[in-house]
Amino acid sequence: MEINGHTRLCGLIGNPVEHTLSPAIHNTLAEKLGHNLVYVPFHVEKGYTDDAVKGAFGLNILGLNVTVPYKSDVIGSLVAVDELAEKIGAVNTLVRCEKGYKGYNTDILGLYRAMCSEGIKIEGEQIVLLGAGGAARAVAFLCAEKGAEKVYLLNRSLEKAQAVAEEVNSICGRECISPMITADYEKLPDRKYLAIQGTSVGLHPDSDKAVIEDAGFYQKIHTGYDLIYKPAETKFMKLVKENGGCAYNGLKMLLYQAVIAYEYWNDVQVPESVAEDIYEVLKSRVAV
């Protein structure tokens, strides 16, 4: 692609941004869809997010992704925030509008699209959610919003699980989330669950660990979804499969959070065949 006077710019703000896969996704999307668009990472120092967002608007930048540690900080620099992103309290995508940027959380929309694409249902389900950090908290909101019957939120420290449950239940107006300490997993009612792994345990290079390693727990899981995508098969996924369940990693979530951001910025629908091509690119990049 030739960079010329019509080239639109998108990018990522965060710190660090050096290992991001987003440029590979967005620049491939632009190439495949024939858009004159370039996506670059911007390393933003602490205390400069507001300058970065205002400067981006001044430079006519079409859209930005936001990564750690600025997903909450950036909200104060926006002119509008999507309803679900506001509930979650974190945005990862800024879409240019008339007077500034509107914030969305395509991480969570991407997870939902990824789950739908795998035929995984949330509505009416009994779910075990592992973790109570930023990622798991967003998943708890998604589950409550999409009509999960019950979410058992298991965390190493009970206080954090309780705080997330209280917040989500109060915002969503129903007692959907039940907090538990992970050590009490044997007390889960005897039935089959969808389990979503939202802790950082098992992440490369600590890939020989899972937050629960007892086969008895995994016998209760019909489907396991790990938000981690490196390694491609986590210990959690192995244990789910060994005990008869289906298991998925977080790579499609990564793919679809980018696809949705790209769709918002360019007002297009990315064809599924293009998304599948990008997924192959991602798989090869993660395998390195």
Binding site for ligand ATR (CB under 6 A): 131-136, 155-157, 160, 199-201, 211
Nearer to ligand ATR, 35 or 156 (CB): 156
Report the alpha-carbon distance of residue 259 to residue 121 in Å, rounded: 21
Contact 104, 93 (CB under 8 A): yes
| Token representation of residue 12 | 């990522």
Report CA-CA distances (Å) from 247 to 31, 81, 202, 213, 233.
32, 33, 14, 15, 9
Nearer to ligand ATR, 198 or 245 (CB): 198
Quote the DSSP letter at residue 60: T
First to last CA, the chain: 26
Report the alpha-carbon distance of residue 178 to residue 41 in Å, rounded: 39
Nearer to ligand ATR, 56 or 139 (CB): 139
At closest approach, how far in Å is the CB of 209 from ligand ATR?
7
Selected catalytic residue, list 32, 46, 71, 230: 71
Nearer to ligand ATR, 31 or 159 (CB): 159
Distance, CA of 33 to chain centre: 24
Report the alpha-carbon distance of residue 65 to residue 259 in Å, rounded: 12
Residue 71 is among the residues annotated as catalytic for this protein: yes
Nearer to ligand ATR, 170 or 200 (CB): 200
At closest approach, how far in Å is the CB of 180 from ligand ATR?
12
At closest approach, how far in Å is the CB of 201 from ligand ATR?
5
Q: Where are the alpha helices (DSSP H) in 43-151?
A: 49-58, 83-88, 106-117, 134-145
Q: Which residues of 79-110 are buried (b: 16+ CB within 10 A; e: fewer)?
A: eebbebbebbbbbbbbbbeeebbbbbbbbbbb
| Token representation of residue 127 | 């779910």
Which residue of this chain has its Cβ atom nearest to ligand ATR in the complex?
133
At closest approach, how far in Å is the CB of 225 from ligand ATR?
15
At closest approach, how far in Å is the CB of 164 from ligand ATR?
9
Catalytically annotated residues: 71
